[in-house]
């Protein structure tokens, strides 16, 4: 027992080199810790890209298969709500980026302001999404037992379809509009779920930022959350043209 290797106090202190309190012991330097967390966050985002990628691919293939149905169904979306939401989301990405800068330069009140603005813009986005969803619900365009083909079998009866001069679809093609709305709700719903999770984390971060948690030089959490928020923005950057814009003239 007595001859088992025992570190002297000096040796312990030498092994335990000086480091900031937020540096984990298993990292040699802060640089190494920052690189590792940044790498891990990007790996997570890559899994997210693959996840949304499946939905995008499904949309691409089914749009090619059932082209007339996807064109007619996309005419049901309001390009103005979509554009407004794009502006809201890009602005929230900007305020988030400014939040990261505030954290890096240790501006506490600036950080709280930026995070709060990002939080509010996120809520505005979801609010506009709610308006759009309720329009779909009212018109029975939610896939399921109560799905209505009226806008596609008789487009003249529906102002949204009539403004594009849509021609009536054959019944079998009209049925495929349900697939469009299935993908619409799957993609925007999954995107909205990411927004809801992001907004919840933002709420927590505002609370912590007010206590000065992210303005001590340790900005990893804010930075990585920023990556997540910008990623959600990028998903919308692709959803917006695919769902709202590319079928307007067909």
Partner 1 sequence: MSEQAHHDEHEHHIVSPKVYVVIFLALLALTSLTVGASFIEMGIFNPIIALGIAVIKAVLVVLFFMHVKYSTKLTKLTVGAGVFTFFILIGMTLADYFTRAWGRW
Instruction: Tell me how far apart the alpha carbons of residues 249 and 41 are, in angstroms, rounded to a whole number.
Output: 40
Is 152 or 229 the residue whose CB approaches partner 1 more closely? 229
Of the candidates 12, 24, 57, 171, which one interacts with partner 1 according to CB under 8 A? 57
Positive or negative torsion for Cα 108, 114, 117, 119? negative
**Where do the H-state alpha helices sit in the chain?**
9-15, 30-65, 67-74, 79-104, 108-138, 150-153, 159-162, 171-175, 177-210, 220-240
18-26, 100-108, 135-143, 183-191 -> range binding partner 1 (CB under 8 A): 100-108
Alpha-carbon distance values, 82 to 89, 174, 198, 231, 248 (Å): 11, 24, 20, 18, 13
CB of 46 to partner 1, least distance (A): 4
Of the candidates 16, 26, 146, 249, which one interacts with partner 1 according to CB under 8 A? 249
Of the candidates 11, 14, 79, 131, which one interacts with partner 1 according to CB under 8 A? 79
- Provide the binding-site residues for partner 1, judged by CB under 8 A: 28-29, 31-32, 34-35, 38-39, 42-43, 45-46, 49-50, 53, 56-57, 60-61, 65, 79, 83, 86-87, 90-91, 93-94, 96-98, 101, 104-105, 223, 226-227, 230-231, 233-234, 237-238, 240-242, 244-246, 248-250
């Amino acid at each position: 027992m007595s001859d088992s290797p025992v570190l002297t106090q000096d040796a312990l202190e030498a092994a335990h080199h000086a480091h900031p309190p937020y540096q984990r012991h298993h990292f040699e330097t802060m640089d190494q810790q920052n690189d590792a967390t940044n790498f891990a966050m990007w790996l997570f985002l890559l899994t997210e890209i693959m996840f949304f990628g499946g939905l995008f691919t499904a949309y691409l293939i089914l749009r090619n298969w059932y082209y007339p149905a996807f064109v007619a169904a996309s005419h049901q979306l309001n390009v103005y709500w979509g554009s407004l939401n794009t502006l809201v989301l890009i602005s929230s990405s900007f305020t988030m980026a400014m939040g990261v800068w505030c954290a890096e330069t240790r501006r506490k009140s600036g950080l709280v302001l930026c995070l709060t603005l990002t939080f509010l813009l996120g809520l505005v986005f979801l609010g506009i999404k709610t308006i759009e969803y309720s329009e779909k619900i009212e018109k029975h365009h939610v896939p399921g037992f109560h799905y209505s083909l009226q806008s596609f079998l008789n487009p003249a009866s529906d102002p949204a379809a009539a403004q594009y001069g849509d021609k009536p679809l054959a019944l079998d093609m009209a049925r495929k509009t349900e697939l469009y709305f299935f993908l619409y709700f799957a993609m925007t719903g999954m995107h909205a779920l990411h927004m809801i999770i992001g907004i919840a984390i933002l709420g927590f971060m505002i609370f912590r930022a007010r206590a000065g948690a992210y303005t001590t030089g340790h900005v990893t959490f804010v930075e990585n959350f920023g990556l997540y928020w910008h990623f959600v923005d990028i998903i919308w950057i692709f959803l917006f043209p695919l769902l709202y814009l590319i079928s307007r003239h067909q």
